[in-house]
Structure 1
Amino acid sequence: MTRRLLLSHLSLMLLVLLVLEVPFGVFYARSELSRFTHTAQQGALTLAEVCEEKMEHGLSTDLPGLARAYGRRTGSRVSVVGTNGVVLADSAAQAQALVGRNVSAEPDIATALRDHPVAGTRSDASVGGDVLFVTVPGGSDDTVPCVVRTVYALGPLKAKVHATWIALAALGLGVLAAGALIGFALARSFTRPVRALERATAQLAEGRLTDPPTTDHGPPELRRLAASFTKTASRLQHLLQAQQAFASEVSHQLKTPLTALRLRLENFEPHLAPCAQDSLDQALGEVERLGRMVQGLLALARLENSAIRPESVDLGAVVADRAAIWAAFADEQRVGIVVADAATDVRVRAVPGALEQIIDNLLSNALRAAPPGTAITLATATAPGEGGRTPAMAELHVIDQGPGMSEAERHKAFDRFWRAPDTDHDGTGLGLPMVRQLARAADGEVTLEAAPGGGLDAVVRLQRADARTHRQRPGGSADADCAGNARPHGVMAARGHP
């Protein structure tokens, strides 16, 4: 932001300098040429009058000396031409051979012989550059007894103009340098509160604001913004701490009465008639389900309130490990677990322990839906990023051959406590919400898709660990009971029919 403000400031200054200095430089160059031309014309007219007077008194022999003296004094080349167009004198030593030559055919001489002065510029090879010539008639009446032509090299005038341009450029650079220093100081003072807010926002996103922005720097608007942000951040921290404390207290407070309730129900068993045994078993099952639901809610609360950075995890190794652990439980239901040819050496970004928990939940759901004699397929794949705008991703597919879900059910499956209408087991409806939260903690995503040939394809997309991420979000991890757990028992079931 400082750089953009400084560039805007300097661009405006440069535009102003160009608008002021360029017209001034052009006007100065033209005025200098005009002044020089006017001076040369006045000098040539004066010399022409003197030459006319000399010729009237029969002193034509004085013309060469007069021309040389004027040329030395003004730094010009002087030529005096008679009324018949013959050169009478020339101040240039190397041009003495021109004396006596008829030059009446030359445009400026012919015009001056018709009593019209001429002035202009042209290129002259003898001086190696442009020259200014002034040709004036030397008569005070209709008769033109002589013509005087003075030629000035424009090199010194151009050098003076160039020096002026250099001075203007140096002045402009000096003004830009001073403006850059002033603009940098102003930009820094303006953006310092913004940078402090940025740092504080990043800290708040990580879960704790340790360096709140000061409220005594910057413009009044930014000071008020910093004060409001600090107040809001403090309030959010207080609420998060209260929620974390609540989750911790509830975890301990609910476990004891649920355990006591289960023991009391079990104590009823010897005293119940056989016809009431089914009701007791159902009550015990509901107590167990309530316990798992409480654990799931507490795990989600801790997951949402945690701020753990994702780490690099070997996707293939974790998939193979979880497949081997779940193989025995799948065999009990006569369901196979197949690890398809996967992309090797693929590392993904995931919260520590989250990838294991994701696979456990998805396998638990798939086993509940898979009919006996079918197989659950675990497959991985990679997808490149799009021109650097999005990072490269890795995909994990958990595919079953069960009844599948409709499109509407696949969208609702990530709602907390949602269960399919035809569910016939004691799931809590929290597994898939937890899977999505774990994936999003590492900037990933999970979706449910229809598998080819029937069944459900749970697709988990995670960023490759070797891909540059575009943004960092605060991650989270579940507690010890539901993240990084190597045991498939007790895993939250939350597919469409949890």
Structure 2
Amino acid sequence: MTRRLLLSYLGLALLVLAGLEIPLGFIYARGETSRAAQSVERDASMLAEVTEENIEKGHLDALPDVIGDYATRTGSRVLVTDKQGTVLADSDPGGRTGISLAAQPDIARALTNRPTVTTTSDSDGNDVVSATMPGSSGTTIRGTLRLTYPLSEVTAHIHRIWGALALAGACILAAVALVAFSLARWITRPLRTLEAATSQLADGQLTNPPDATIGPPELRRLAVSFTHTATRLQHLLSSQQAFASEASHQLKTPLAALRLRLENFEPYLDPRAHPSLDEAVGEVERLGRMVQGLLALARLENTATTPEPVDLDAVLTDRVAMWEPLAAEQYVAIDITGPPAGRVWAIPGALEQVIDNLLANALRVSPPSTTITLHRVPGTELHIIDQGPGMSEADRARAFDRFWRSSDTHHDGTGLGLPIVRHLIGASGGTITLHPAPGTGLDAHVRLRPVTPRPRRGPRTAGGGSPLLRPEPRTAAVSRGPRSG
């Protein structure tokens, strides 16, 4: 913004200078040319009177001295003719006398007692002022005089004036640039502090509020308003996160007690009520998992993490070894394909939780005798592909919403698995999208950031970090049905 303000000020100053100096230069140039023409006309009139007097008295041999002296002093050329237009004297050494110039327009006009003043170009292409005057007494014409004055000195003087105007304009622009830069810096300094404060707020904590004592009054008021808004927003977010964390934590104990009491009812209930009791216990268990998911999300949102290099291949091998016994109970195979992916950037423990959640969802919907494929693609991409019923386009668009489950869901998911996955992958600098798998099923496409090749410090061990929704190895079976979060 400083650069744009500076360019704006300089553009405005340049426009003003151009509007003033260019007309001034042209006016001065025309004035100098006009003054030169008037001076030449005046001198030509005076010389014409002197030469007319000499012609009248018959002192023709004095004409070369009269015009030669003037031509030498002024650098001009003077030519004198008689009343028939025959050249009597010429200050130019190369000029010839005795020739008739009566046919030339300016001489012809002077012979009719009419002066001529024009600006023309000589044989070398240089601008000259030419004044042709009649040598007369009253109406009696005794000769003519042509005075030709070169404008080279006038042109050089005009060029010097243009140079002076340009130099003055450059100095003014430099002064304007200095003042404009200082002014632009003063104006944008609060904006820079606001930008830094906004970046801090986006990272989760405003540690350096913008300075509200510098800059224009409007920006100072903006800084005060921003600080007030950011403080209130941080307070609201902290209150919300604290409520979610504390409420979820406080619900764990009552839910566990409720489940025990429901299970204690079983010996005293009519056998026909046992299915309803099982359903109630299942809902309590699902509510407990939902509370665990809320606690996990609260911990993720409250914890500032930095991605670190992680060996994706080692993590895949470790998690597949964990899930294979559970998959075998459902007669489902898990296969890793594609070339090794190498190391990627991820927050500690994120990849393990991501793969666990995606495998849990895939296994939940996979029919017997099918395969879940973990396919690696060069460029640090991972595809987790199942052969289940898949998801519609509308369901895929909402799959990452919290607590959302498909309308045809028949399992006891909480709707928090995929939101947790997206949060972990986003915090690691990656992305996740859902696509239809070839034939049937779903393809969860995970794109991660590769680690730039450098001397390896040793592979990270897979399995680091605390799992959020990691399955227990002793679980007997996983219920089947359409997937959810």
What's the offset of the Cα at 1:458?
Answer: 2.2
Please state if 1:28 is matched with 2:7: no
1:154–1:42: structure 2 CA closer, same or farther, 3 Å change rule? same
Alignment-derived partner of residue 84 in structure 1:
84
Aligned to 2:301: 304
**Secondary structure of 1:215's aligned partner:** coil
1:420 aligns with 2:406: yes
Contact 1:413 1:432 in 2 (8 A): yes
> Post-superposition shift, 1:105?
4.3
| Distance (whole Å) between structure 1 residues aligned to residue 314 and residue 119 of structure 2 | 87
Which SS does the other structure have where 1:120 is aligned?
strand
Separation in structure 1 between the aligned mates of residue 103 and residue 348 of structure 2, nearest angstrom: 100
Q: Which residue is equivalent to 2:151?
A: 154
Distance 1:54 1:343, change over 3 A: farther
Structure 1 segment 44-443 matched on structure 2, within 5 A: 44-92=44-92, 94-95=93-94, 98-124=96-122, 129-262=126-259, 284-311=281-308, 318-342=315-339, 344=341, 350-381=346-377, 395-442=381-428
Deviation at 1:318, TM superposition (A): 4.4
**How many positions carry a matched residue from both structures?**
471
Cα offsets for 1:327-350 (capped at 9, x unmatched): 3332332212233325845x6554
Partner Cα distance (2:467, 2:212) in 1:
44
TM-score (norm 2): 0.85
For residues 85 and 321 of structure 2, what CA distance do their matches in structure 1 show? 117
1:496 paired with 2:479, answer: no
Counterparts of 1:495 and 1:12 in 2: how far apart (Å)? 67
Residue 460 of structure 1 aligns to a residue whose secondary structure is strand
Cα drift, residue 408 of structure 1: 3.1
- The letter for the 2-side match of 1:418 is W
Q: Aligned pair in 2 of structure 1 residues 425, 122: CA closer, same or farther (>3 Å)?
A: same
Cα shift at 1:377: 2.0
**Displacement after TM superposition at 1:494 (Å):** 11
Contact 1:419 1:495 in 2 (8 A): no
Q: Distance in 2 between matches of 1:107 and 1:324?
A: 113
Secondary structure, counterpart of 1:149 in structure 2: strand
Distance 1:45 1:394, change over 3 A: farther
**Counterpart Cα distance in 2 of 1:309 and 1:144:** 106
Distance in 2 separating the partners of 1:372 and 1:337: 12
- Structural RMSD (CA): 3.4
For 1:458, the equivalent position in structure 2 comes to 444
Q: What is the Cα deviation at residue 99 of structure 1?
A: 3.0
Evaluate the alpha carbon distance shift between residue 227 and residue 157 of structure 1 in structure 2; reply closer, same or farther with a 3 A threshold: same
CA distance in 1, matches of 2:177, 2:305: 43
Kept in 1: contact 2:425–2:431 (CA 8 A): yes
- Could you tell me how far apart the structure 2 residues matched to 1:141 and 1:315 are? 115
Q: Helix, strand or coil: the match of 1:171?
A: helix
One-letter identity of the residue aligned with 1:116: R
SS in 2 for 1:218: coil
> Residues 63, 201 of structure 1: CA spacing in aligned structure 2 closer, same or farther, 3 A cutoff?
same
In structure 2, stretches of 5+ residues that fail to align are: 453-463
Secondary structure in 1 aligned to 2:141?
coil
Q: Which moved more, 1:170-179 or 1:422-431?
A: 422-431
Shift in alpha-carbon separation, 1:306–1:113, aligned structure 2, 3 A: farther
Distance 2:482 2:190 in 1: 47
CA shift for structure 1 position 84: 2.9
Q: CA deviation at 1:142?
A: 4.6
Counterparts in 2 of 1:6 and 1:330: CA distance versus 1, 3 Å: same
Letter of the 1:53 counterpart: E
Matched letter for residue 367 of structure 2: P
- 1:195 is paired with a residue whose SS is helix
3-state SS of paired residue (2:234): helix
* 2:148 counterpart SS class: strand
Q: Say which SS state the counterpart of residue 447 (structure 1) adopts.
A: strand
CA contact 2:341–2:380 (8 Å) conserved in 1: no
Q: Deviations over 1:28-50 (max 9, x none)?
A: 11111011101101110111011
Change (3 A) 1:51 1:44: same
Do 1:67 and 1:78's aligned partners in 2 also have CA atoms closer than 8 Å? yes
CA contact (8 A) 1:427 1:494 kept: no
Distance 2:346 2:197 in 1: 25
Write out per-residue CA displacement over residues 237-263 of structure 1, whole angstroms, 9 at most, x where no aligned residue. Answer: 222332343344335433333444455
Counterparts in 2 of 1:446 and 1:38: CA distance versus 1, 3 Å: same
Residue segments in structure 1 that go unaligned for 5+ positions in a row: 383-392, 467-477
How many angstroms apart in 1 are the aligned matches of 2:40 and 2:309? 85
Residues 178 and 110 (structure 1), Cα distance of their counterparts in 2 relative to 1, 3 Å cut? same
Q: TM-score, normalised by structure 1?
A: 0.83
Relative to 1, partners in 2 of residues 1:420 and 1:98: Cα closer, same or farther, differing over 3 Å? Answer: same
Task: Give 2:71's aligned amino acid.
Answer: G
Distance 1:91 1:404 in 2: 109
Q: Deviations over 1:45-70 (max 9, x none)?
A: 11101110111111111111110222
Residue 495 to residue 192, structure 1, CA distance change in 2 (3 Å):
farther
Q: 1 CA distance for matches of 2:387 and 2:222? A: 56
Once the two structures are overlaid, the 10-residue window that deviates more, 175-184 or 71-80, is 71-80
CA distance in 2, matches of 1:364, 1:312: 25
For 2:172, the aligned partner's letter is V
* SS at 1:89 equivalent: strand
Cα displacement (A) at 1:235: 1.1
Letter in 1 for 2:386: D
Which amino acid in the other structure matches residue 210 of structure 1? Answer: T
TM-superposed deviation, 1:189: 1.5
The alpha-carbon deviation at position 273 of structure 1 amounts to 8.3
Q: How far 1:213 sits from its partner (Å)?
A: 1.2
Deviations 1:271-291 (A, max 9, x none): 888877766655554443322
